Structure 1
Amino acid sequence: MIDTIEKEDPVISEEEAAQYDRQIRLWGLDAQKRLRGSRVLLAGLGGLGAEVAKNLILAGVKKLTLLDHEKVTEDSCRAQFLVPVTAQGQNRAQASLERAQNLNPMVEVQADTDKVEDKPDDFFLQFDAVCLTGCSKDLMVRVDQLCSQHNIKVFCGDIHGYYGYMFSNLGKEYSYVEEKPKVVKAAPDSSDGPEAKKAKVDPNETTMVKKTASFCSLKEALEVDWTSEKTKAGLKKTPLDYFMLHVLLKFRTDKGRDPDPLAFPEDSLVLKQIRDDVLEAKTLSSDLLSDDFISYCFSEMSPVCAVVGGVLGQEVVKALSQRDAPHRNFFFFDGRKGNGVVDYFGPN
């Protein structure tokens, strides 16, 4: 992938070098060239999608395709800063296009108004990375399996009230480089003593270290067997957000939508029942996830979109530039506490 991109776009123009000067200083010219040669699909232009789009466009990818068949509503205008308030009733991707393009004219931004579920497999294979927001579990699993077979990086994310998450799958053998302080060996003629013979870290010099990481699929991450001794032992370290994600994904599958604040009493009862069913199917107690989560998982909240969108956008940038260690595989954010948790759920 790296060699192909560099052959397609081996030179960054003087104008681009000036535009991306700070980034080039931060992660190097080679990383910026990889970004500059990358094509990304972003499905779902809600509040989270807008944040991710902003971050990718400012980072300087080659092309970003905004895919969304939904219409702009009054609610979406509150959390989505790319659509003007006068755009209600218009397609969200199309309405987001002008402001998105104005963020960075050097990036080609395209709007696609089709429904992501209707796209054939070949459509996804033209991209270097696919980012899905606001999508069903079945679609995310389908796209993840398809892209994994073709070495295409996959990201998923969502916002539910105070809660947010992201998932990434960069493949079984993802390679990247990480900047580390340089270790300096002691000189042969240094003073006597054990301390003098030890290697020391020079804070003024760094070196690039090549590393690899392995990712599991979304299907594997969601289908953890909680009856095994290994997973039982790790249950206490597993964030409750992981199980809440299962509940919210099943709600979306069953209802074809997310919990609606205007239907809070009815949807609250449905969420409780789904919670019980989901945890029972995993042979876990319903007490694991208290009723409190229901009060905090309605609608998209702009501050939560900004935090999770920042993390998700940065993970896409890191993956495409192949610079710095990635998250594996989930990142969960709880806006009530203002913190994020990173966890890895692999096959047993």
Structure 2
Amino acid sequence: MSDPQSSAQAQMTNGQITEDEASLYDRQIRLWGVEAQNRMRSSTVLILSLRGVAHETIKNLVLAGIGRLIVADDSAVSSEDLGTGFLFREEDGAVGQNRTKAALHQISSLNPLVSLTAWESLAPFVGGSEGEIVDVLKKEKVDVIVACDLPKAQLESIDSAARKAGSMFYAAGTYGFYGYVFADLGESYEYVYTPKPTPENTSPGLAKKTLSYPSFTQALSNEKWTLPASQAAEGGSPYRGLTRNETKNAAPGVVLGLLALWEYEKKNGVLPAGGEGQVAEMQASAERLRLDLGVNGKALPAVDPHMIEHLASHATHFFPPTLAVLGGLLAQDVLRALSRKDRPIVNLLSVDSMGGVGTVGRWAMGEGKDA
């Protein structure tokens, strides 16, 4: 009988992966397979903004063996940044340095096999034109762009350009105990999966499925929220018409809070800071959104005021447990999207780290088609 590790290494060499890579990534090669690992090692991932959730995300992506990582940020490390993750070290004099410059050594030490590029600016992704963003993404051959903790309006603009450039897009952010991940993998994303066994086929082989993702703007547009949940793929509410139990399983509360927070940000140009009037404004928005989306009133008669108060008071604060949980989930899904092995997020993940709840909602997209 051949040695499993030797066999894996031989396969990887044939797949143009070195013995060092085969040894380093042996465990995940056994899990995902040679082809999936090859896709990851040939990929380029761009991370925008090294605040908060980016730290855990970067760690997991680099350790998994992506080919190239580009990190971009235009701000200097502050004392508050020191508590958000491992990339910035006070003993290394990180405070005052550009975030990408301060993080380079920590990132490269995780896995020297990953090519690392640092940009000390967020231009043109922030402040530039859509055409400029498209040009950069195409020039750098970016497979996935991950925008962290940026205002929703900026995320929508970046996503629009990513779709035109053919790059997959993730948006993610945390607001105190709460956070989200949104995925837009393009209009025709294909992945492989293993179907569930049936009495007629107890050992099914791999199958392919194609998903059509909407943009961030399309997914959360309220133009068609009056449509029932059965028509969610057309932009209808994913909650309208659900039974009491179905609504509880969908856990719409956190999403309503996030939507109210984004409404406040759009109207006022900044995130709330906890003022009494701000809390009341967000609570009113969340209640209106609950009705607009047709959420079952027996399952959720009102949006949790404690959650709204927390979001309004801590929208600009980072909590390490939330960052760790969301960053891990985000990185895992980016790797899944790159490997095209199993279904990625479809398409909005909301997380309550203190409540231990994470729910994926399907916004303006269907079940997908067999390829």
Length-normalised TM-score, structure 2 = 0.78
Matches within 5 A, 1:282-321: 284=292, 288-297=302-311, 298=314, 299-321=317-339
- Structure possessing the higher radius of gyration over alpha carbons: 1
The alpha-carbon distance between structure 1 residues 106 and 227, as it changes in their structure 2 partners (threshold 3 A), is same
Higher-strand-fraction structure: 1
CA distance in 2, matches of 1:37, 1:16: 13
For 2:270 and 2:101, how far apart are their aligned partners in 1? 22
- For the Cα contact (< 8 Å) 2:325–2:353, is it kept in 1? no
Q: Which deviates more, 338-347 or 325-334?
A: 338-347
User: 1 CA distance for matches of 2:95 and 2:337?
Assistant: 35
Find out whether 1:29 has 2:42 as its counterpart.
no
Q: 2:66 aligns to what?
A: 61
- The match for 1:228 is 227
Give the corresponding residue for 1:341.
359
Could you tell me how far apart the structure 2 residues matched to 1:320 and 1:346 are?
23
Contact 2:53–2:148 (Cα < 8 Å) also in 1: yes
The one-letter code matched in structure 2 to 1:219 is T
Equivalent residue, structure 1, for 2:153: 138
State the match for 2:278 in structure 1. 270
The CA deviation at 1:47 is 2.1
SS of 1:87's equivalent? coil
The aligned residue for residue 247 of structure 1 is 260
Question: 2: distance between equivalents of 1:84 and 1:254?
Answer: 36
Residue 118 of structure 1 is aligned with which of 114, 120, 127? 127
Asked whether 1:162 is paired with 2:177, we answer: yes
Distance in structure 2 (CA, Å) of the matches to 1:221 and 1:215 = 9
Query: What is the CA deviation profile of residues 249-299 of structure 1, one whole-angstrom value per residue up to 9, with x for unaligned ones?
Result: 234445554444xxx3x2x522431442475478649x7434212343311
Judge conservation of contact 1:133–1:157 (CA < 8 Å) in 2. Answer: yes
Q: Secondary structure at the match of 2:343?
A: coil
Q: CA deviation at 1:100?
A: 0.8
State the alpha-carbon separation in 2 of the partners of residues 154 and 255 from structure 1: 26
In the superposition, relative to structure 1, how do residues 207 and 182 fare at CA in structure 2: closer, same or farther (>3 Å)? Answer: farther
CA contact (8 A) 2:290 2:303 kept: no
Structure 1 stretch displaced more, 136-145 or 244-253:
244-253
Aligned residues: CA RMSD? 2.7
The whole-number CA distance in structure 2 between the counterparts of 1:290 and 1:14 is 54
- Percentage identity across paired residues of the two chains: 29
Aligned partner letter, 1:146:
A
State the number of aligned residues: 318
Unaligned runs of 5+ in 2: 1-13, 230-236, 294-300, 367-371
Partner of 1:129: 144
